[in-house]
Chains A and B, each alone.
Chain A
Amino acid sequence: MQVTSPVREPLVTGGKTYKDVTNDIARQVEGKPTVGWLLGLAVSLGTLLIGSLALVATLWEGIGMWGLNKTVGWAWDITNFVWWVGIGHAGTLISAVLLLFRQKWRTSINRAAEAMTIFAVICAALFPLIHMGRPWIGAIWALPLPNTYGSLWVNFNSPLLWDVFAISTYFSVSLVFWYIGLIPDFATIRDRATGLRKTIYGALSFGWDGAARTWMRYESVSLILAGLATPLVLSVHTIVSFDFATSVIPGWHTTIFPPYFVAGAIFSGFAMVLTLMIVTRKVFKLEDYITIGHIELMNIVIIITGSIVGIAYITEFFMAWYSGVAAEQYAFVNRMFGPYWWAYWSMMTCNVISPQLFWFKKIRTSIAATFILSLVVNIGMWFERFVIIVTSLHRDFLPSSWVMFYPTITDVGVYLFTFGFFFTAFLLFAKFFPVINMAEVKAVLKSSSEKTIK
């Protein structure tokens, strides 16, 4: 069935037929869980449980359990929030932006990347939610709801409120986009199943029958959703960066933040996709669908966005010097050589220097090297947010308030909780949902080669 092209590398290797695609991917859903999967689930559920102690402590005692102080009012929690939101950028970018650019290689990775996006955004949303201290009455602070607590409406001039709208819209639109794509694949599983599984996947598949008329509408919906999601993806991290950029804190008050944050988000998101996909393809034996070609293309995106981030770091420095503002200049010198020099140089090494290794074809086509570098990038991106947030705050306008920030065990525990949640959710997804979009892979199986029958 699969015709190989003399010109272009095939997107799916191994001479797969349509039937093979269904079998290879549905097999994961239908088979018994493997030992590796069960072990992974046990570890992530364990992490979730340990982390939930810290979460309960935060909710019970209040955010005094954290390492925040009078000077550094945002630190660990907002770092984690921005980090997770950044990771949550790859999925919709892959499925929406690459759809508009007709990049067919997205079909093998979009499903898992979107799932990752959704779970990462949930993890991100947790931090501002619990930072409110009393999240159970947080709805009236975050949403325009009539209430009797004081000033009636929320402040629409505040970027923090824009964030509420941006992240909830991004989450719900990504969820819908992801689910629409899942419907035809649930129908495939339904039609192979009997008994209880047929009932469950029958309900999940919403009565999909694959009629040409429905496919026509489906394609139309996908295209419009991609068109809507593309500016949405860019808007989310832009608005997150406004949280900082619209303030008057030296080191935050800069107009470069929106593009710089968006590039950083794509950078870290692709790194996390690579981390997850390298493991998934191995465990589920999907090497023919997620090929070295896919990994190489994602690594190229990492070099580009990583270099944009590197240029942004340097530009920030130049602008701080060129502005002639003493406070701004001090903030940047303090970043590089102050008490947090180690965080700054970790960020520089992980984000700017090490991804440049991907210029070598040997490295960007090596699975082991990609896996290690993808972890390095995510560590670097965590430090980037930490550096921006903490180094700018810890030197207050009054030198008498200058302090250091130290995370508490509760801070670490809440971060662990999000890891536990993220991996538990991803493992459940990988087992019970088709990890690769079968319908879309089948659609490119033939046309990805030049020798189509006319």
Chain B
Amino acid sequence: MERDKHFILGIFDDEDILLSAVKEVRAAGVKIHEVFSPYPVHGLDEELGYTRSRLPIAAFLFGLLGTTLALTMQFYMMKFDWPMIIGGKDHAAFPDFIPVTFELTVLLAAFGMVGVFMISSNLKPWAQPRIFDLRSTDDKHVMAIDIASNGSVDLEQIKSALKNSGATEVNSKSFE
């Protein structure tokens, strides 16, 4: 059977039942493809064994780039390229450069991080998402299990694991 084509879906009504179900299903030796929720469920990423997002690191690095760019730009323009005496002060009036440096740090950190988030999560206006169940953006949590990547586990065993852990429905879904 082809990978990433045929799925078994467990539908859950409640976030806490979902959290315990993820634990039980994984304990039964079933690999979970992904869980789709209408809202962020705290602790779900840990139960699914996802490693922590490195987006904060991206934000820090972009922020650092912003700081560097802002300071370089201001010192280059005000001290070296076109020195002007303003208010009788030094050309390189460092304290005066702080506000713009702060703003550019925040600007680059925010835009850089959001850009990385968009790319890493494949968010773009022309993206065509695979929707496993339309209710997953409304009121249900949908646990998708890829049949092919669970080759050794029996189909009925997966279904009963889902049912026993509190799924209100167990469906199957295939994509072209």
A residues adjacent to B (C-beta < 8 A): 17-19, 22, 144, 151-153, 155-159, 161-162, 165-166, 169, 172-173, 176-177, 180, 183-184, 187-188, 190-192, 203-204, 206-221, 224-225, 228-229, 231-232, 235, 239, 242, 438-440, 442-443, 446, 452-454
Contact (Cβ within 8 A) B127 A217: no
- B interface residues (Cβ-Cβ under 8 A, vs A): 14-17, 34-41, 44-45, 48, 50, 53, 55-56, 59, 63, 73-74, 77-78, 81-82, 84, 86-87, 89, 93, 96-97, 99-100, 102-104, 106-107, 109-111, 113-114, 117-118, 120-131, 134, 136-139
Are the CB atoms of A231 and B14 closer together than 8 Å? no
Q: Which residue of B lies closest to A211 (CB)?
A: B34
In the complex, what distance in Å separates the CA atom of A75 from the CA atom of B50? 57
- What residues of A have a CB within 8 angstroms of the CB of B38 in the complex? 18, 22, 184, 188, 210, 438-439, 442
Q: Contact partner of A216 among B50, B89, B123, B138, CB < 8 A?
A: B50
**Cβ contacts under 8 Å, B50 to chain A:** 212-213, 216
A209 touches B110 (CB 8 A): no
Chain B nearest CB, measured from A86 CB (Å):
18
Decide: A453 near B17, CB < 8 A? Known: A19-B139, A156-B78: yes
- Asked if B96 and A204 sit within 8 Å, CB to CB, the answer is no
Residue pair A239, B48 in contact (C-beta under 8 Å) = no
| Interface contact A188-B138, CB-CB below 8 Å | yes
| Given A144-B77, A232-B106, A215 and B40 contact (CB-CB distance below 8 Å) | yes
Q: How far is the CB of B40 from chain A (nearest CB, A)?
A: 4
A218 to chain B, nearest CB (A): 7
Nearest CB in chain A to that of B33: its residue: A211
Closest residue of A by beta carbon distance from B144: A211
Pair A218/B40 contact, Cβ less than 8 Å: yes
Q: Which of B14, B87, B126 contacts A453 (CB 8 A)?
A: B14
Q: If the complex has contacts A17-B139, A157-B86, A235-B102, are A212 and B44 also in contact, measured as CB distance less than 8 A?
A: yes
Decide yes or no: A176 and B41 within 8 Å by CB, A19-B138, A165-B99, A191-B134 being known contacts: no
Which of chain A's residues have a CB closer than 8 A to the CB of B128? 207
- Looking across the interface, which residue of chain B has its beta carbon closest to that of A176? B114
Contact B123 A153 (CB under 8 A): no
Chain B residues positioned under 8 Å from A169 (CB to CB): 103-104, 106-107
Q: Which residue of B lies closest to A162 (CB)?
A: B99
Q: Is the CB of A172 within 8 A of B87?
A: no
B63 nearest CB across to chain A (Å): 8
Q: CA–CA, A207 to B118, complex, Å? A: 10
Complex contacts, B109 vs chain A, CB 8 Å: 224, 228
In the complex, how many angstroms separate the beta carbon of A124 from the nearest chain B beta carbon? Answer: 16
How far, in angstroms, from A315 to B117 measured CA to CA in the complex?
Answer: 46
With A17-B139, A212-B34 already in contact, the answer to whether A176 and B110 are too (CB < 8 A) is yes
Quick check: A184 and B137 within 8 Å, CB to CB? yes
Given A156-B78, A212-B37, A228-B110, 12 extra CB contacts under 8 A: A22-B38, A157-B96, A191-B131, A206-B123, A212-B44, A216-B44, A216-B50, A218-B117, A224-B113, A228-B106, A231-B106, A439-B39
Closest chain B residue to A26 by CB distance?
B138
A207 with B123: CB separation less than 8 A: yes
Cβ 8 A contact of A239, one of B37, B41, B53, B99: B99
Query: In the assembly, what is the distance between CA of A22 and CA of B100, in Å?
Result: 42
Nearest residue (CB) in B for A152 is B82
Provide the bound-state CA to CA distance between A382 and B106, in Å. Answer: 29
Q: Which residues of B contact A159 (CB under 8 A)?
A: 99
Residue of B nearest to A437 (CB): B39
Q: Which residues of A contact B127 (CB under 8 A)?
A: 206-207
Which of the listed residues A151, A153, A219, A235 has the most CB atoms from chain B within 10 Å of its own CB?
A153
Residues of the B chain whose Cβ atoms lie less than 8 Å from the Cβ of A214: 121, 123
Quick check: B137 and A212 within 8 Å, CB to CB?
A: no
Q: Are B16 and A454 in contact (CB under 8 A)?
A: yes
What is the CA–CA distance of A333 and B129 in the complex, to the nearest angstrom?
Answer: 66
Chain B: CB-nearest residue to A444: B39
* Shortest CB distance B30–A (Å): 16
Q: Is B110 a contact partner of A173 (Cβ separation < 8 A)?
A: yes
Q: Is the beta-carbon distance between A157 and B124 smaller than 8 angstroms?
A: no
Chain B nearest Cβ from A77, distance in angstroms = 23
Instruction: Indicate if the CB atoms of A156 and B39 lie closer than 8 Å.
Output: no
A22 nearest CB neighbor, chain B only:
B138
Given A153-B78, A191-B131, check contact A162 B41 (CB 8 Å): no
* Contact A187–B137 (Cβ < 8 Å): yes
10 contacts between A and B (CB under 8 A): A22-B38, A22-B138, A151-B82, A157-B87, A203-B125, A212-B36, A215-B44, A216-B53, A224-B55, A439-B40
Determine if A235 and B45 form an interchain contact, defined as CB atoms under 8 angstroms apart. no
Residues of B near A208 (CB, < 8 A) are: 123, 129, 137
When distances are taken between beta carbons in the complex, the residues of chain B under 8 Å from A211 are 34-36
The answer for the CA separation of A19 and B134 in the assembled complex, in Å, is 13
Contact, CB under 8 Å: B130 / A209? yes
